[in-house]
Homo-oligomer: A and B are copies of this chain.
Amino acid sequence: MSQHSGSGTAAVQERSGPKTERGRRTLRRLLDAAGEEFGTRGYHETAISNITQSAGVGLGTFYVYFKSKEEVFKALVADMGARTRHALTESVKDAPNRLEAERLGIRAYLQFVREHKSLYRVVMEAQFVAPEAYRAYYRTFSEAYRQQLSQAAKRGEISEGDDDVRVWALMGASTFLGLKFGVWEDDADVNAVSEAAADLMINGLAPRAKKGDAS
Contact = CB atoms under 8 A, between A and B. Distances in A.
Interface of A: 42-44, 98-99, 102, 124-125, 127-128, 135, 149, 156-159, 161-162, 165-166, 168-177, 179-181, 184, 192-193, 196-197, 199-211, 213-215
A209 B200 contact: no
B209 A99 contact: no
Secondary structure at the A interface, as helix, strand, loop or mixed, is: helix
A115 B167 CA distance: 24
Given A175-B176, A176-B175, A215 B204 contact: no
Total identical chains = 2
A176 B180 contact: no
Nearest to A152: B205
A125 B43 CA distance: 12
A159 B208 contact: yes
A80 to B, nearest CB: 16
B206 A159 contact: yes
A161 B161 CA distance: 24
Given A161-B199, A175-B172, A209 B204 contact: no
